[in-house]
Chain A
Amino acid sequence: MKQKEVQNYGMYMEATLQSLAMLNPAKLYRNPVMFIVEIGSILTTSMAIYSVMTHSGGTAFGAMISIWLWLTIGFANFAESLAELRGKAQASSLRSTRAETTARLVTPVGFSHVSGSELKKKDQFVVEAGEIIPTDGEILEGVASIDESAITGESAPVIRESGGDRSGVTGGTRVLAGSLRVSVSNNPGETFLDRMISLVEGANRQKSPNEIALTILLVGLTLIFLFVVAAIPAFSSYSGIKSSPTILIALLVCLIPTTIAGLLPAIGIAGIDRAFRANVIAKSGKAVEVAGDIDILLLDKTGTITFGNRQAVQFIPVAGVSEKEVARESYFASLSDETPEGKSIVLLAAPMLTLKTPPGGLVPIPFTPETRMSGADSVEGEIRKGAEDAVSAYAGSPFSSDIKEIISTIAKSGGTPLVVAKNKKPLGVIHLKDIIKPGLKERFARLRKMGVTTVMVTGDNPLTARAIAEEAGLDDFFAQAKPEDKMALIKKEQEKGRLVAMTGDGTNDAPSLAQADVALAMNSGTQAAKEAGNMVDLDSDPTKIIEVVEIGKQLLITRGALTTFSIANDVAKYFAILPAMFVVAYPQLKVLNIMGLATPESAVTSAIIFNALIIPALIPLALKGVSYRPVGASALLRRNLLIYGLGGILVPFVGIKLIDMALVLLHFT
Chain B
Amino acid sequence: MIANDWIQIFFSLTMVVLISPLVGRYLAWIYQSHHLSLERTVYRLLNVDPEKEMTWKEYGGAIVVSNGLFFVAGFLVLWAQAILPLNPRHLSPLTAEVAFNTAASFVTNTNWQAYAGEAQLSNFSQMVAITFLMFVGANTGIAALVAIFRGFTRSGSATLGNYWSDFFRFLIRAFLPACFLMALVHVWQGSPQTFQTAVSSKTLEGASQTLIVGPVASLESVKNLGTNGGGFYNANGAHPYENPTPLTNTLEFLEMGVFTFSLPFFFGRMIGRPRQGQVLFIVIFSLYLAGLGVIEYSEKMPNPLLAHAAIEQQATPFQDGGNTEGKEVRLGITQTSLFSNTTIAATTGAVDGAMDSMNPLSVLVYLVHMFLNEEPGGKGVGFAGLLKEAILAVFLAGLMVGRTPEFLGKKIESREIKLSALSLLVTPLLVLGLTALSVVIPAGKSSMDNPGPHGFMEVLYAFASGNANNGSAMAGLNVSTPYYAILIGVEMILSRFLPLLPLLAMAGALAKKKTLPETSGTFKTDTSLFVVLLLGFMILFAALTFLPPLILGPLLEHLSILHGVSF
Please indicate whether A and B come from the same complex rather than being unrelated chains: yes
Q: Which residues of A contact B (CB under 8 A)?
A: 209-210, 212-214, 216-217, 219-221, 223-225, 227-228, 230-239, 255, 289, 292-293, 295, 448-453, 496-498, 552-554, 556-557, 559-561, 563-564, 567-568, 570-571, 574, 578, 582, 586, 588-589, 591-592, 628, 632-634, 636-638, 640-641, 644-645
B196 located at the interface, meaning its Cβ lies under 8 Å from any Cβ of chain A in the complex: no
**B-side interface residues, number (CB < 8 Å):** 66
B565 located at the interface, meaning its Cβ lies under 8 Å from any Cβ of chain A in the complex: yes
Whether B524 contacts A634 by the Cβ 8 Å rule is yes
B418 located at the interface, meaning its Cβ lies under 8 Å from any Cβ of chain A in the complex: yes
Chain B residues contacting A559 (CB-CB under 8 Å) are 399
Chain A residues contacting B401 (CB-CB under 8 Å) are 557, 633, 636-637, 640
Whether A570 contacts B544 by the Cβ 8 Å rule is yes
Chain A residues contacting B413 (CB-CB under 8 Å) are 209-210, 213
Whether B517 contacts A645 by the Cβ 8 Å rule is no
User: Which 8 pairs show the lowest CB-CB distances between chains A and B?
Assistant: A451-B521, A560-B399, A553-B402, A220-B421, A234-B436, A451-B519, A497-B514, A238-B439
Whether B523 contacts A216 by the Cβ 8 Å rule is no
A235 touching B533 in the complex, CB below 8 Å, given contacts A212-B414, A634-B527: no
**Cα distance A247–B421 in the bound complex, in angstroms:** 27
**A231 CB → nearest B CB, Å:** 4
**Cα distance A645–B548 in the bound complex, in angstroms:** 22
Chain A residues contacting B516 (CB-CB under 8 Å) are 295, 497-498
A578 touching B548 in the complex, CB below 8 Å, given contacts A213-B417, A234-B436, A641-B397: yes
Whether B453 contacts A239 by the Cβ 8 Å rule is yes
Known: A224-B428, A496-B517, A571-B544. 16 other contacts (CB 8 A): A217-B392, A227-B425, A227-B432, A231-B548, A232-B548, A235-B548, A235-B549, A235-B552, A239-B556, A292-B404, A553-B402, A561-B400, A578-B547, A589-B559, A637-B529, A641-B533
Taking CB atoms and an 8 Å cut-off, the chain B residues in 376-422 that contact chain A are: 392, 395-404, 409, 412-414, 416-418, 421-422
Q: Which residue of B lies closest to A251 (CB)?
A: B548
**Cα distance A212–B414 in the bound complex, in angstroms:** 6
Chain A residues contacting B536 (CB-CB under 8 Å) are 645
**Cα distance A334–B141 in the bound complex, in angstroms:** 82
Chain A residues contacting B545 (CB-CB under 8 Å) are 224, 228
Contact pick for A634, options B403, B425, B523, CB 8 Å = B523
**Cα distance A455–B522 in the bound complex, in angstroms:** 19
Whether B421 contacts A216 by the Cβ 8 Å rule is yes
A227 touching B433 in the complex, CB below 8 Å, given contacts A451-B519, A589-B559: yes
**B561 CB → nearest A CB, Å:** 9
Chain A residues contacting B549 (CB-CB under 8 Å) are 231, 235
- 25 cross-chain CB contacts under 8 A: A210-B404, A213-B413, A213-B417, A214-B399, A216-B418, A217-B421, A219-B421, A227-B425, A228-B548, A230-B433, A235-B456, A255-B544, A292-B404, A450-B520, A450-B521, A497-B514, A497-B517, A564-B400, A578-B548, A582-B556, A586-B559, A592-B555, A641-B397, A641-B529, A644-B400
Whether A564 contacts B396 by the Cβ 8 Å rule is yes
**Cα distance A641–B399 in the bound complex, in angstroms:** 11
Q: Which residue of A lies closest to B562 (CB)?
A: A588
A228 touching B432 in the complex, CB below 8 Å, given contacts A292-B403, A556-B403, A564-B397: yes
Pick from B429, B519, B522, B560 the residue with the most CB of A within 10 Å. Answer: B519
Whether A293 contacts B397 by the Cβ 8 Å rule is no
Q: Which residue of A lies closest to B415 (CB)?
A: A213
**Cα distance A586–B428 in the bound complex, in angstroms:** 25
Contact pick for B544, options A497, A560, A574, CB 8 Å = A574
Whether A451 contacts B522 by the Cβ 8 Å rule is yes
Whether B540 contacts A567 by the Cβ 8 Å rule is yes
Q: Which residue of A lies closest to B452 (CB)?
A: A239
Q: Which residue of A lies closest to B513 (CB)?
A: A497
B202 located at the interface, meaning its Cβ lies under 8 Å from any Cβ of chain A in the complex: no
Whether B432 contacts A213 by the Cβ 8 Å rule is no
Q: Which residue of A lies closest to B532 (CB)?
A: A641
Whether A632 contacts B456 by the Cβ 8 Å rule is no
**Cα distance A561–B399 in the bound complex, in angstroms:** 8
B551 located at the interface, meaning its Cβ lies under 8 Å from any Cβ of chain A in the complex: yes
Q: Which residue of A lies closest to B519 (CB)?
A: A451
Contact pick for A237, options B403, B412, B440, B524, CB 8 Å = B440
**Cα distance A219–B432 in the bound complex, in angstroms:** 18
Chain B residues contacting A645 (CB-CB under 8 Å) are 397, 536
Taking CB atoms and an 8 Å cut-off, the chain B residues in 524-567 that contact chain A are: 524, 527, 529, 532-533, 536, 540, 543-549, 551-552, 555-556, 559-560, 562-563, 565
**A210 CB → nearest B CB, Å:** 6
Chain B residues contacting A588 (CB-CB under 8 Å) are 556, 559-560, 562-563, 565
B84 located at the interface, meaning its Cβ lies under 8 Å from any Cβ of chain A in the complex: no
Contact pick for A571, options B395, B409, B543, CB 8 Å = B543
**Cα distance A225–B545 in the bound complex, in angstroms:** 7
Q: Which residue of A lies closest to B155 (CB)?
A: A497
Whether B517 contacts A560 by the Cβ 8 Å rule is no
